[in-house]
Amino acid sequence: MSSSNAGSRPVEAGGSRWVDPGHLYVVATPIGNLADISARAQSVLEGVDFIACEDTRHARVLLDHLGVRKECVALHEHNERGASEAIARRLAAGQSAALISDAGTPAISDPGEVLVRVLVDGGVPVVPVPGASAVIAALSASGLPARPFWFEGFLPAQDKARRDRLDRLAGVEATLAFYEAPHRIVKCVAVAADRLGGDRRAVLARELTKRFEQVVHGTLMELAGRLTEGTIPARGEFVFLVAPAGGSAEPPAAEAEALIAAMIDEGVAPKTIARVVSRTTSLSRNAIYAEVLARRKEP
């Protein structure tokens, strides 16, 4: 078993009290708004010997903004194995390194997983320096249940593979979280409506932390329609969330609705409402919880 103490005990080393020799720091960077970089992330980037970057030119823009002048080495999907071994050798020789990706948290639908695995297998300390991640930002503002949630990342680009994957996810009783590129988002949401059910609640979180940020709620059918008509522009970056299966967006039966409304009026906690109402109806806890949150947002 190996462990690291750098998260709990700041130390003076390598010119920064946050950095220890022989450690890799997995540093989250902003997903749009540069002010989202943390003070600790900045100190770690200043303190390490070198920085492994998904794209060195892209990284330079952020590092110049932060005033950090460091050696950058490329680590991307095409060289990850070889680059990881080279980085491991430098860490074994006592250097320290940070890993960053183009945006958000490395190794989350981004390069880094192989490097971290190589280091963990070799007993090298790997320290997370947390910050922005698009999926967590979207989920936190979605009103959909976060317990449990299923992070799928990107669906396959090919039509049949995407349909098959959605069919396999259709019964999962967890909020589904997808990343999607702008040129595929219209198709992706339309196919999701077809395979998961057009009535299911969903959220499109677009351009988070940026100027044209939008977090749009609706059923899958409604969101597919809005993308097609262009009231949600198919531009920028998207996180796409779908409410859990098993209870869905179908409006609760009349008695359940009355019970939910009465409990909201009495100030009962959403989790308690979900637990109590799910015992007396066929609706799932997750579906009721989502319904309560949605109603609490209504004017």
* Residue ranges binding ligand SAM (CB under 6 A): 31-32, 101, 103-105, 108-110, 133-135, 179-181, 205, 207-210, 237-239
Long-range contacts of 74-81 (CB under 8 A, 24+ apart): 75/99, 75/111, 75/112, 75/115, 76/111, 77/111, 80/111, 80/114, 80/115, 81/114
Residue given tokens 């044209």 in the structure block: 212
| Nearer CB in complex with ligand SAM: 110/291 | 110
Q: According to DSSP H, which parts of 93-133 are helical?
A: 113-121
Cα separation, 229 vs 126, whole angstroms: 46
| Nearer CB in complex with ligand SAM: 44/288 | 44
| Nearer CB in complex with ligand SAM: 29/286 | 29
Report in angstroms how near the CB of residue 99 gets to ligand SAM at its nearest.
11
Report in angstroms how near the CB of residue 81 gets to ligand SAM at its nearest.
19
Report in angstroms how near the CB of residue 256 gets to ligand SAM at its nearest.
34
Report in angstroms how near the CB of residue 237 gets to ligand SAM at its nearest.
4
Residue given tokens 């109590």 in the structure block: 276
Is 64 in contact with 72 (CB distance < 8 Å)?
A: no
| Nearer CB in complex with ligand SAM: 136/224 | 136
By beta carbon distance, the residue nearest ligand SAM is 104
| Nearer CB in complex with ligand SAM: 135/144 | 135
Report in angstroms how near the CB of residue 218 gets to ligand SAM at its nearest.
17
Q: Which residues pair with 178 in a beta bridge?
A: 153, 240
Is 26 in contact with 116 (CB distance < 8 Å)?
A: yes
